[in-house]
Structure 1
Amino acid sequence: MPILAVLTLAVMVVALIDAITRRDDQVKHLPKFAWVFFIVLLPLIGSILWFAIGREWEQRREPLTFGDPRQWQRDAEPAPAAPSARTTEQQIADLEREMYLADLEEQVRRRRAEGDASN
Structure 2
Amino acid sequence: MVDAMPVLALLTLTVMVVALIDAITRREDQVKHLPKFAWIFFIVLLPLIGSILWFALGREYEARSTPMSFGDPRRWQKDAQHTPPPAPRENRTTEQQIADLEREMRLADLEEQVRRRRAEGGAPT
Q: Normalization by structure 1: what TM-score?
A: 0.50
Give 1 or 2 for the bigger CA radius of gyration: 2
